[in-house]
Chains A and B, each alone.
Chain A
Amino acid sequence: MEANQNSVLNILAAGLDCGDIVFSTHAEIALRVQRLLDDPDCATEQLGKLIAADPLLSARVLALSNSLAYNPSGRAVTELRGAIARLGFANLRAVVASVVVRQMKAGSQTPEARVMAARLWEHTAHVAALARVIARRVTHQNPEAAFFAGIVHEVGSFYLLSRAGEFSGVLSRELEAWHGEGEAIVGRAVLRALDVPDSVLEAMETLWSGYLALPPVSLGDTLLLADELSPVESPFDALDGMSRKGMAVELDMAIDDEMLSQILAESAEEVRSLTAALGEAA
């Protein structure tokens, strides 16, 4: 009975399955970097050269390596090799993903979609920073994998926004289908096109299922918890009237209030430098 409600979402996903995903040149280079990172023989030299070919990506890599999260001592690196060494390959993956996501954000054409994309990016940065802190302090998952998962976790929504102009009214008409299966259908297709690691896909499945293990354990739980704790909600949630609206929530899971506020404070600090490093207009 949801077949026609899902139609636009299915068209989008089917297009993605056929490789019909439009990436800009920035994103093309980013994807080549992504593939190089998958190569076990990948050398920093080679990576540096490829990244240097794209000024936008180079700027992001340098900015992130000099952000508070990666440079607590305040010693700035100014060349790519040093920046890559400092970030490590896992983080480089996240920067690359953020460039792709940001390109999609830039693709939003209608004013409504642009406003939503900006908000979605803010939400993304919060979730990524929170996921990193939660992984380190609560679930003991790989913090960089959690950060990466956070960066890409709204990629399906960004894609929907970038195509919203072609299907007028899709945002209001299909919101319910989107919150049902739609986000997962489109998100899965985009992530496959981006070649994200299986562990991240698995975490995304947990996120889409919505079931948080309490206490949280897996990478998926880390991501879902970050999403639930994020001080900035996804604009899609707000649209559906399921926003928290400042309503009190009590979420307890073997970490006390003091630790929770430490986690939030720590990630708030990171999010400022992250949004500065990853988030300035493309």
Chain B
Amino acid sequence: MGAPVATVDYARLPVKEIERHARSVHPGAWAVETQKPLSTLLGSCVAVCLFDPMLRIGGLNHFMLPDMGRARNGDVDSLLSGNFAMEALLNALINKGAKKVRLQAKAFGGGTIIDTDGGSLSIGMRNAGFAKEWLEREGIPLVASDFLGPWSRKVLFLPSSGEAFCKRMVTNMATADVIAREERAYAETLRQPSPTGKKIELF
């Protein structure tokens, strides 16, 4: 099956080939690589790519804040999960020798892919807003981003060069359902066991 040898310069490949070789990062996960491209498929979730240009290493995560739009005071838990996703990625990079002061970020997602009466719109906005605030607080420059809008997005990231490619996608019902289902399954895992389990609506 012609698996690529270790020395493939992914940055020189056409984007479709990069896509083919990429390691897919699922909702709630993160990955750090030096060579292999990373990819992820986003609905209302957000992906942040971090890159250390000196060490030429990078990573990407894929997360959302659960339980949005309702309990105004109960936001602490949901922020914790965003913080966890960002810190997990940051620490994984630092463990590989990256320096925080050198990191640059690119971030994507927060789309509204399923028609709801405004609920999912605010989900995307909150996720995007969180990513921006977190990066700003940590002093990591956000060099490029593509947030919000009615699209799902496919993101490709080359950890050796820091290049990122974002494709806004036709979100027909079938695609939207698949993406939403994956994100919902992930959101389920974030939910605290709650006595009134059914009242949280994510999409």
Contacts and interface: CB of A to CB of B under 8 A. Distances in A.
B80 to A, nearest CB: 25
Contacts of A253: 143-145
User: Among A206, A215, A243, A252, which residue has the most Cβ atoms of chain B within 10 A?
Assistant: A252
User: Among B125, B128, B144, B148, which residue has the most Cβ atoms of chain A within 10 A?
Assistant: B144
Given A243-B150, A252-B145, 19 more contacts: A176-B170, A206-B15, A209-B16, A210-B168, A210-B169, A212-B166, A213-B165, A214-B106, A214-B145, A240-B170, A242-B170, A244-B150, A247-B121, A247-B148, A249-B147, A249-B148, A249-B149, A251-B147, A253-B145
User: Which 10 pairs from chain A and chain B are nearest by CB?
Assistant: A214-B144, A211-B165, A249-B149, A210-B167, A250-B147, A253-B144, A211-B15, A211-B167, A252-B145, A179-B170
B165 A212 contact: yes
Nearest to B156: A211
User: Among A176, A212, A214, which residue has the most Cβ atoms of chain B within 10 A?
Assistant: A214
Contacts, number: 77
Contacts of B149: 244, 247-249
Given A214-B106, A242-B150, A247-B149, A209 B167 contact: yes
Interface of B: 14-16, 19, 106, 112, 121, 125, 128, 142-151, 154, 156, 163-172
B128 A250 contact: yes
A178 B50 CA distance: 35
A210 B169 CA distance: 8
A242 B171 contact: yes
Contacts of B16: 209
User: Among A212, A244, A245, A250, which residue has the most Cβ atoms of chain B within 10 A?
Assistant: A250
Contact of A242 (B121, B148, B151, B156): B151
Nearest to A255: B144
Given A176-B170, A252-B145, A214 B165 contact: yes
23 contacts: A179-B170, A205-B14, A206-B15, A209-B14, A209-B15, A210-B168, A210-B169, A212-B168, A213-B163, A214-B106, A214-B165, A214-B166, A240-B170, A241-B172, A242-B151, A244-B149, A247-B112, A247-B121, A248-B148, A249-B146, A249-B149, A250-B128, A252-B142
